[in-house]
Amino acid sequence: MKTILYIVQKEFIQIFRDKVLLNLILIAPLAQLLILIFAANLEMKNIDFCVVDKDNTQNSIELTNLLAASPFYTLKDYVFTEDQAINMLISGKVDMVLVIPHNFSIDLESASNPKLQLLIDAINGTSAYLINNYTSYIVADYNVDIVMQTYPDSIDTGTFDITYSYWYNPLLDYKIFMFPGLIVILVSLIGLFIAALNFVKEKELGNIAQINVTAIKKYQFIAGKLIPFWIIGIIELAVGLLCGVILFNVPFLGSVWTLFLYCSIYLICVLSLGLFLGTLSNSQQQVMFFTFFFFLTFIILSGLFTPLETMPKWVTYVNYANPFAYLMKVLRMILLKGSGFSDIYMDIVYLSIYSVIMFFIAVKSYRKTG
């Protein structure tokens, strides 16, 4: 144990001497958290559109004004032909074109199935889907208003009264959805990327070669390299959570101790993975390539940006080996749902086994050659 503590002491001295690494540890993850929580947002808030109004009646103007009055839409221009509107769509000046045909008002008032045309820039399928949904809701509401005004007696008062509520995120605030994912990035950056980079840097400087000729055992060395970054990761996690609660009003409904217990095990897992990649690499370029590959793959498959339910079935099996996916799920359960130890104890067991295996692999892959 004393040997491990000496290595830990050496690591801390080395970390605090390296100003670049220190800034990378202290500033980069928190800066990412503060920037990405606003930028990583799939909500459509700025939909630019133009209108081809061939009807030019009170109804068509009312419908256009209804869209323009929405905080999500910006009316860029009225144009006279579809070709002009399509050119605006091609040049990226608008995201959507609303074409109101001739006789729209007459068909609307006579209930003769009036038609509208929406042309949507669908390069981003998710955005196109949201634009279509937003617009359809507005048009449907307008249609109901017209029917009520024109045929007040035909309104059926016996319709369903649906009451709905959004559990765990009642205001559908995207920041609340994204925050746990950004915490995963923050913690994993320390665990996977920086620990591996630090390990290989010591290799290049020849420090590890000097340690190899001593009587230090392999597990002692790996544990000594792991513990300082584990402590830093826990501190970063605490600061990140504090920022989320204070600055972004992210709810913290579950147990603090359960969350830190799980994250402690998680850090051992990703740190072991990072050190394992460090043992395989002979240069900082190599380890950066390795860590970038795993970091990017794990983060995309973890469900940070897209729900896991939309991914192919085989991704579910891949995610058994994805520690990011474990933490993503558990963070959302503890922070937003208030899940306790009894709800996630099996996740703790799985991650503990995974961490032990990864630590064992990291120790075995470290070649202690003088």
| Model confidence pLDDT, tens digit, residues 44-82 | 678 899 999 988 888 889 889 888 888 888 999 898 888
Taking the C-alpha atoms of residue 219 and residue 197, their distance in angstroms, rounded to an integer, is 19
Section 30-44 average pLDDT:
73
Q: Among the listed ranges 16-20, 109-113, 243-247, 364-368, which one has the minimum average pLDDT value?
A: 109-113
Q: Looking at this protein, which amino acid is placed at residue 73?
A: Y
Give the pLDDT score at 26: 76
Give the pLDDT score at 42: 66
Condensed to tens digits (0 to 9), the pLDDT of residues 270-298 reads 999 999 998 888 888 888 888 888 888 88
Strand residues in the chain grouped as ranges (E): 47-53, 73-79, 96-100, 117-120
Residue 18 burial by Cβ neighbours in a 10 Å radius (0-12, 13-18, 19+): middle
Pairing of β 47-53 and β 73-79: parallel
Q: In what order do the strands lie in the sheet with 96-100?
A: 73-79, 47-53, 96-100, 117-120
Give the pLDDT score at 189: 81
Q: Is the pLDDT of residue 204 over 60?
A: yes
The residue that leads in pLDDT, 304 or 43, is 304
Give the pLDDT score at 162: 64
The residue that leads in pLDDT, 41 or 208, is 208
Condensed to tens digits (0 to 9), the pLDDT of residues 316-358 reads 888 888 899 889 889 989 998 888 888 899 999 999 999 999 9
Closest CA to 240 of 290, 305, 197, 186: 186
Which alpha helices (H) appear in 27-166, and where do they start and end? 28-39, 58-69, 82-90, 104-109, 125-150
Which one-letter DSSP state was computed for residue 111? T
Give the pLDDT score at 281: 86
Section 183-203 average pLDDT:
83
Chain centroid to Cα 166, Å, comes to 20
Condensed to tens digits (0 to 9), the pLDDT of residues 144-161 reads 787 777 766 655 555 556
| CB environment 46-80: b (16+ within 10 A), e (fewer) | ebbbbbbbebebebbeebbeebeeeeebebbeebe
Taking the C-alpha atoms of residue 4 and residue 189, their distance in angstroms, rounded to an integer, is 24
Inter-CA distances, 262 with 167, 231, 257, 269, 337, Å: 24, 14, 9, 11, 16
Which alpha helices (H) appear in 252-283, and where do they start and end? 256-280
Closest CA to 79 of 103, 54, 96, 60: 54
Condensed to tens digits (0 to 9), the pLDDT of residues 104-127 reads 888 877 767 788 889 998 887 777
Closest CA to 138 of 44, 266, 20, 270: 44
Condensed to tens digits (0 to 9), the pLDDT of residues 238-256 reads 988 998 888 888 888 989 9
The mean predicted confidence, pLDDT, of the chain is 84
The answer to whether residues 351 and 326 touch, using CB atoms and an 8 Å cutoff, is yes
